[in-house]
Amino acid sequence: MFESAELGHKISKAVYTKELPVLREALLDTQLELIKAASFPVIILLGGVDGAGRGETVNLLNEWMDPRHIETHGMGDPTEEEQQRPEMWRFWQALPPKGKIGMFLGSWYTAPILDRVKGKIKSEAFDHSMENIARFEKMLTDEGALVLKFWMHLSKAKQEVRLKTLEKSTKTRWRVSSRDWAHFKLYDKFRKVSERAISQTSTAESPWIIVEGEDPHYRSLTVGKVILEALRKRIAENNVDAKHKTHVAPLLPAIDNLHILQRLNLNLKIEKKKYEALLEKYQGKLNLLMRHPQLKDVSVVIVFEGNDAAGKGGSIRRVTQALDARYYQVIPVASPTEEERAQPFLWRFWRRLPRRGRVTIFDRSWYGRVLVERVEGFCSSYDWMRAYGEINDFEEQLIDSNTILFKFWLSISNEEQLRRFEERQNTGFKRFKITDEDWRNRKKWSEYEQAVCDMVDRTSNTHAPWTLVEANDKYYARIKILKTLCERLEAQLGE
């Protein structure tokens, strides 16, 4: 969930100084249009980790736009007056009217998240709060509001550094309270609860946008650009029915061209000899684990996704070699059949779910919805945006019913893909593996990259994490996959 926001995004001062005036002018112009039309309100939530620059961002936005038409709400603890009404009363009082922007530093998320982190409420009550919030926000978007939710994130290490740096200078020491340090101690809990909140309330109409908060230039430009793009789209769509309003897509603009896939070290390699030894080791281990008596009560689902020619087939074979043929099934996922097209998109995966004690391997999967269908425009942005939530719901049901779920993304470089395509083209017995479609997809490399990053950010979570596999070297990829399988199985079986 926070993968893309822990990469160390950074914008140099030179770039920032160059881009800022353009952004500011565009923001101001667009705000003027918003004010003039006064046809919808804009609600901006800034949640996230302490010290990730929420306050600074709000100040900047007030500087960049006309502050007379922005209402900023700190929303600390409720006043005595507010305590006398339903909890949501004070937020209703603070809603911006059409044409205005309301910014919320604390919001309807604050109390349930803190209460859960501090153990004051149970997970059921927390989930119930999130459901109520989702309904409240659906009402807001149905009523025409543009709701933008930013989650300013810092990794644990970065948050510690930041708090310490602030404390060092007498000028900034006042900004660090003992409350900040108390919160820091709860970082891991806070992260887990936030992950749940974000995944339960990210909808097609109002998804969370997670922004790395460390570098002020990066986070300011990012928030500014997302707001600008969303405002522009929404103003252009003004005559469209409320149900068709803006979906914030692409979810995160490529501000500094840094993303999770880039961070993979695709040069990782294993020599053939060592590979053969490791292969034997992990296949043996996997075979043993799969015969563990506890596994009779558990289902295993393994998802393989990856670039074309990334080596999914070969990897799957190395896994199945370790399995008992009676207990596994490999499902190659191509275009849906006519029967499957007559059903909701998840139907063809539901029907393939393994019973207890069995393994199902999906060679491509339900993620096609947010990859190929998104990029090729086979479904509307509303459809693939809602798919993240639907997929999370689906996978939660798998996990709740005792399924161990693995999700592998096999990543190769653009150059390596070209090399493999050409090799396939030039080798008679491999030629069947390469089609015109592969070449067409290749032309949309960066759109696929964006889709993969959004997919990982929006569907990776503690119980169903994505494993990104550096796959330029097939040996390395296969061993990483086998090792991941063994390690998580061991952990789950309590070995």
Beta strands 466-470 and 328-332, pairing class: unpaired
Between CA 45 and CA 473, with CA 466 as vertex, the angle to 5 degrees is: 135
In the bound state with a second copy, the residue whose beta carbon lies nearer, of 40 and 409, is 40
26, 330, 331, 346: which one binds a second copy (CB under 8 A) = 346
Beta strands 359-363 and 208-212, pairing class: unpaired
89's CB contacts (< 8 A; 6+ apart) are: 82
Min dist. Cβ of residue 100 to a second copy (A):
8
Min dist. Cβ of residue 331 to a second copy (A):
15
Q: How many Cβ atoms from other residues are within 10 Å of residue 195's Cβ?
A: 16
Asked if 463 touches a second copy (CB under 8 A), the answer is no
Asked if 84 touches a second copy (CB under 8 A), the answer is yes
**In contact, 95 and 102? CB cutoff 8 Å:** yes
In 3-state terms, what secondary structure has residue 480?
Answer: helix
Helix and strand element counts for the chain (H, E): 20, 10
Min dist. Cβ of residue 88 to a second copy (A):
6
Which of the residues 18 through 57 are near a second copy (CB under 8 A)? Answer: 38, 41
Asked if 182 touches a second copy (CB under 8 A), the answer is no
Give start and end residues of each alpha helix (H) in 147-260: 156-168, 178-185, 187-201, 216-236
Asked if 350 touches a second copy (CB under 8 A), the answer is yes
In 3-state terms, what secondary structure has residue 46?
Answer: strand
Min dist. Cβ of residue 162 to a second copy (A):
37
Query: How many residues lie near a second copy (CB under 8 A)?
Result: 57
Site track 388-407 with a second copy (rule: CB under 8 A), x = hit: -xx--x---xx-xx-x----
In the bound state with a second copy, the residue whose beta carbon lies nearer, of 86 and 119, is 86
Residue 428, token pair as written in the block: 């008679």
Asked if 440 touches a second copy (CB under 8 A), the answer is no
Min dist. Cβ of residue 217 to a second copy (A):
35
47's CB contacts (< 8 A; 6+ apart) are: 54, 107, 109, 110, 113, 149, 150, 151, 152, 194
Q: Which stretch binds a second copy (CB under 8 A): 109-117, 168-176, 321-329, 335-343?
A: 335-343
Asked if 483 touches a second copy (CB under 8 A), the answer is no
Q: Which stretch binds a second copy (CB under 8 A): 225-233, 350-358, 418-426, 444-452?
A: 350-358
- Least Cα distance to 219 among 72, 102, 53 occurs for 53
Distance CA 258, CA 10 (A): 9
Asked if 14 touches a second copy (CB under 8 A), the answer is no
Please provide the size of the chain in residues: 495
In the bound state with a second copy, the residue whose beta carbon lies nearer, of 57 and 299, is 299
Beta strands 146-153 and 42-48, pairing class: parallel
Site track 296-315 with a second copy (rule: CB under 8 A), x = hit: ---x----------------
Q: How many Cβ atoms from other residues are within 10 Å of residue 363's Cβ?
A: 18
Which of the residues 118 through 157 are near a second copy (CB under 8 A)? Answer: 122, 124-125, 127-128, 131-132, 135-136, 139-140, 142-143, 145
Asked if 351 touches a second copy (CB under 8 A), the answer is yes
Strands (DSSP E) found in 273-358: 299-306, 328-332
In the bound state with a second copy, the residue whose beta carbon lies nearer, of 15 and 353, is 353
Asked if 345 touches a second copy (CB under 8 A), the answer is yes
Distance CA 281, CA 479 (A): 10
Find where tokens 């390469």 sit: 434
In 3-state terms, what secondary structure has residue 56?
Answer: helix
Asked if 445 touches a second copy (CB under 8 A), the answer is no
Asked if 250 touches a second copy (CB under 8 A), the answer is no
Asked if 423 touches a second copy (CB under 8 A), the answer is no
57's CB contacts (< 8 A; 6+ apart) are: 46, 150, 152, 219, 220, 223
In the bound state with a second copy, the residue whose beta carbon lies nearer, of 39 and 59, is 39
DSSP result, 428-450: GGGGGG--HHHHHHHHTHHHHHH
Residues that bind a second copy (CB under 8 A): 38, 41, 81, 84-89, 92-93, 95, 97-99, 122, 124-125, 127-128, 131-132, 135-136, 139-140, 142-143, 145, 241, 243-244, 299, 339, 341-347, 350-351, 353, 355-356, 382-383, 386, 389-390, 393, 397-398, 400-401, 403
